[in-house]
Chains A and B, each alone.
Chain A
């Protein structure tokens, strides 16, 4: 009866038609309800009683007696199913456009309690049923990446804000510096560094201001350092003359080694040497001797070097001390 009902109704007539149908089918619905109640009660009784031996015997007898009726009923039910399918399909096709037109999606959606709906959804179970690997395997990442406007994304990113949100301490604390350093080839790194250019950029004065020289010197082994110094070579390189002339050493020596008598002796000796040389020059001229060829003094005294001048020092005029004395 319901399947045969005319479902081609307009939107305005839908509500009134439904009320009319409800009043007309009241009797049928009541009969179906009573039959349903009776069937449910009978089923309950049958299930309660059906397990006993008499009931089973009665059931077997009833099946034998009603077998012709059941066979006919089965044929009718199959025919009903085969005939009802096309009729139901046709009915649905005719009803669906009207239903769709009649339904206001917005109202339906407004009536849905999304929160309650979501609360009822087991997200974990849902996600667990998703085959992520299968989805990912079907995604062409290259094509996906090519379609991404990276420049546009980057230009819209507030890098400063991102950086401010980064906890650098926490980040660094998670870095294994030992393992990182072990992977670095220091030699290769240094080869690529232009040390000269690096040093030119270093402000040594500023650097030295920050150096604690006292602490540095405390760690220096001065004894070992001095042991490695060739003091003889160092002294040989000293300009003793300049040192005595231009420092307090000269005055100290003068004050400590010379009194009035000492200075007088120096004068007398110097004058004597001068007169000796004057006399020698004339003697050499008269005797036509080359002063340079003359021995300056006894071998042992001359070979050890002049007493007053450092070895090899040249007097003013380019002469050695001995040559100048003779000349």
Chain B
């Protein structure tokens, strides 16, 4: 019953300001994905160089360069999605989207500015993130600068229909629906 209420509440909040937990989890996912992708990319590059070099040259990338590449990768990873669709991979998983303050889609300027200002949250020793909890619009410091906001934006209608279908009574006349619908909440 708690799951049902929670899910119903979730699907009814599409377009609302996203909370700290979802955004934190999305960020963690993004970081994991970005790091994994970068690691795969650098490992692949090293392997390719080793394979194709005549004397099995082992590529040694200086940490500073590697860090610079990683930072550049992160910049690309965040700025491009935020400038176009408004959502990174992690935010897509959690159903979040970056929009402008009025709710309109983000622009290239918004995406780049938000990406560049994003480190301020860490630079301020986490104080820049406090606004996500305390602010009325759940704005972090980089949101204020870039004039953006983060909202729930998953497939609300589809999710609601799926939720309704799963929460249908087991006495449904349809034999196909009875199994999936009645079992779904228990599985959840």
Interface residues of A, Cβ cutoff 8 Å to B: 241, 244-251, 253-255, 257-258, 262-263, 265-277, 279-280, 283, 287, 289, 294-302, 304, 306-309, 315, 321-322, 324-325
Contact = CB atoms under 8 A, between A and B. Distances in A.
A295 B137 contact: yes
A299 B19 contact: no
* Chain A interface, >50% SS class: helix
Interface string B19-36: 111100100000000000
B15 interface: yes
Interface in B138-178: 149, 151-152, 154-169, 172-174, 176-177
B95 interface: yes
A241 B164 contact: yes
Given A254-B181, A263-B188, A325 B7 contact: no
Interface string B108-141: 0000000000000000000000000110110000
Given A266-B7, A270-B3, A315-B12, A276 B165 contact: no
Nearest to A251: B177
Interface string B82-106: 0000000000011100011111100
B22 A301 contact: no
Given A270-B6, A279-B20, A307-B156, A250 B188 contact: no
Contacts of B181: 250-251, 254
A247 B10 contact: no
B42 interface: no
A308 B156 contact: yes
A289 B137 CA distance: 13
Contacts of A325: 9, 12-13, 16
A254 B22 CA distance: 24
A65 B127 CA distance: 191
B17 A296 contact: yes
8 contacts: A253-B161, A254-B162, A263-B162, A266-B188, A270-B10, A272-B21, A273-B9, A279-B133
Interface of B: 3, 6-22, 25, 93-95, 99-104, 133-134, 136-137, 149, 151-152, 154-169, 172-174, 176-177, 180-181, 184, 187-188
A297 B15 contact: yes
A268 B137 CA distance: 23
A325 B15 CA distance: 12
Contact of A272 (B22, B102, B151, B162): B22
A274 B12 contact: no
Nearest to B172: A246
B95 A265 contact: yes
A314 B16 CA distance: 17
B95 A275 contact: no
Closest 8 CB pairs of A and B: A276-B19, A298-B103, A300-B103, A250-B165, A251-B177, A301-B15, A273-B10, A307-B14
Nearest to A309: B12
Given A245-B169, A251-B181, A277 B103 contact: no
Contact of B136 (A250, A266, A275, A295): A295
Contact of B102 (A283, A294, A300): A300
Contacts of B18: 276
A251 B101 CA distance: 38
B93 A265 contact: yes
Given A250-B168, A301-B151, A266 B12 contact: no
